[in-house]
Amino acid sequence: MKLSALQQTYLTRRANSFRGSAQLDSSGDGSVKSPAAIFWLVIHGVCCLISLVLGFRFSRLVFFFLFSTSLYTAPFRSGSEIAAQREVPPAVNRTATSVASTASRVVVGRHGIRIRPWPHPDPVEVMKAHRIIERVQREQRALFGVKNPRTVIAVTPTHVRTFQTLHLTGVMHTLMLVPYDLVWIVVEAGGVTNETASIIAKSGLRTMHVGFSQRLPNSWEARHKLESRMRLHALRIVRKEKLDGVVVFADDSNMHSMELFDEAQNVKWIGAVSVGILLHSDESSYMVQSEEEGASMPVQGPACNATDKLVGWHTFNSLRYTGRSAVYIDDRAPVLPRKLEWSGFVLNSWLVWKDADGKPEWVKDLDELDGVDEEIESPLSLLKSTSVVEPLGNCGRQVLLWWLRVEARTDSKFPSRWIIDPPLDITIPSKRTPWPDAPPELPFNEKILTGTQEQTNKPSTRTKSPRSRRSRSKRKHDTKVIGVQVSTHSEQN
């Protein structure tokens, strides 16, 4: 009885298990056969394929090959196409080729780059680009430059002369490029003139044009002393007006590097830089001798040791020019500098103030220099001890300005104020002029030469052999040369 009951239970459970599996199979068959399930399965497979294709680096290039052949040029070209590109197009089709190439595109890696014509066709975009570059440079100076820049006080002694416009314009444009606030003190020998005022008025800078009663002498030695007094006069103006900043001695005939004004911001009281001395020498024999003896470099400035400490000064060796240097302005000889030029020093304006907070005791007062101005050759005379000078420009290893003295002779015939009035004379007549005016009359010697050339250029009615033609052209060339020599001698006489 019990055995039959157990068998009946086992058979019932087994039947129920088979019935559940049949239901699952029937439900699975229904899901597979559903159109929505098949649709989503296909979409899933397509998305997987798309992500697989786009994931490779080569996929973008395949996309360009298939769909963007009209917009981008193919990155791989045959040898014939490269050879055809290297061939120079004729002059007639060169413009059309350049116009067509400016509107093309190239492929670099996975990105297309559009080739724009140069210069940019839109000037507004060009100005935007320049403003962006200017803003970037300003931000870079704010981050990596001087945090609190001081005002630059430039002192320039000058006087009216032939080359004043040349020299003063050069230093004016240099000061206009200084990226700091600047005050330009121009001290003019002989008093203030309209010529100098008209030049410095074009700068747009904050200028102080003051006059000096004395005129510059003709000798270079006396001129150097007077220029030192003019610089001291400018320092007294700095003390009187209490100008706060760094004083730079910018002579009008010197050439300055923009790094000089950056280094001037680092000075605490007084600093020195290396100055390149530009001189000319007509003696080639001495050049060979100097190479054998190992002459010193034409530089003056601070000399430092291995620890970048000031230990002395390197001055220009003027012994080689003993007896051969210029004494007066008209001398055709090199002009020698002083032992240490003023332009090689940078001062803190507080050094010359009457009462300044923290003013050091090793500096002399300007009132003590009254009456001995001519004996002051450099700013070192303002100090009681020269060991306090700060070497600038990588401890004097960088030349930040160049000293040069080039002046015109007194008998030179340069135009006054460089204004051509009356107009220039015709020295070479123009053969083809765009205006319908009559050509100028030629000089007498040129008329003779033209008549001789016309006679030699008349065609001959007789038939000659090639050899006679060559001899005739040779005689024609000799006639031209003789005519030119005759005209030259007549002009000299």
pLDDT digits (tens, 9 = 90+) for 291-327: 444 456 789 999 998 888 899 998 888 888 888 888 8
pLDDT digits (tens, 9 = 90+) for 413-433: 777 777 888 888 888 777 665
Yes or no: say if 336 and 325 are a contact pair by the CB < 8 Å rule: yes
In the chain, the number of structural domains is 1
211: in domain: yes
Strands 206-212 and 274-277: unpaired
Contact 351, 243 (CB under 8 A): no
Q: Tens digits of per-residue pLDDT, 200-244?
A: 999 999 999 999 999 888 888 888 889 999 999 999 999 999 999
Q: How far apart are CA 205 and CA 199, in angstroms?
A: 12
Residue type at position 148: N
The answer as to whether 144 is a domain residue is no
Residue 72 lies in a domain: no
**Any domain includes 231:** yes
Distance CA(134)–CA(85), nearest Å, equals 39
* 187 lies in some domain: yes
Decide if 256 is inside a domain: yes
Average pLDDT over residues 357-386: 81
Q: Which domain holds residue 209?
A: 150-280+297-403
Cα angle for residues 410, 415, 419 (degrees, 5° grid):
150
Q: Output the pTM of the full model.
A: 0.61
pLDDT of residue 492: 43
CA distance 72 to 429: 56
The domain that contains 371 carries what CATH number? 3.90.550.10
- Residue 159 within any structural domain of the chain: yes
CA-angle at 398, arms to 395 and 402, nearest 5°: 125
d(CA 479, CA 291): 51
Three-class SS state of 483: helix
Asked if residue 159 lies in contact with residue 179, where contact means CB atoms within 8 angstroms, the answer is: no
Question: Is residue 120 in a domain?
Answer: no
Helix (H, G, I), strand (E, B) or coil at 369: helix
Q: Which of 241, 235, 234 is CA-nearest to residue 210?
A: 234
Average pLDDT taken over every residue of the chain: 75
